[in-house]
Structure 1
Amino acid sequence: VADFADGRLYAALAFLAVVPSLGAYFFFDRLVGAAGPARASLTVYLIPLFATLAAWPLLKEPPHLYHAAGFAVILAGVAVASMRRR
């Protein structure tokens, strides 16, 4: 149960609201500059993959076979979408 009188809770929430958001925009902006907007937009499809991988150590949710299948489908889709047309 959270102690809403504890200032550390609000400091942690502020940190989690600001730092990852700014970091994500910074790195996405760098990716757009390096790879172009069309290729950089494909990273949106990787969010479920990263969320699942983050849940493993943080929430103690072990990955299962269906995660691997989902990862394969996501990565295959990103690979096909990023292929250059001839």
Structure 2
Amino acid sequence: MSQQDMGSGSEMADAQAMAAVLREKLDDAAVPGGVAEFAPDEAEQAGAFAEDALDEQDAAAGAIDLADASAPPPLIRSRDHERHTQVTD
């Protein structure tokens, strides 16, 4: 980015100061138990609102095949009597 794109030298100094504050807040946030508050524009610059959701193809690839979902639960024998119990993981 050229200085003409940035505008005056004071705008460039402001941008550098904001970047330094953002780096300091990110360092504070990386400390276990540390607390750092971010303004909405700072959070966006830090990548807090990056879209990383699955797309439709990835979701379809991870779909569970429920073809046997209507099968009855397995029969489990106990010492006292027979009973139907649904096995869960």
Higher relative contact order (CA 8 A, sep 6+): 1
TM-score by length of structure 2 reads 0.30
> Which of structures 1 and 2 has the bigger CA Rg?
2
TM-score by length of structure 1 reads 0.31
User: Which is strand-richer, 1 or 2?
Assistant: 2
User: Which is helix-richer, 1 or 2?
Assistant: 1
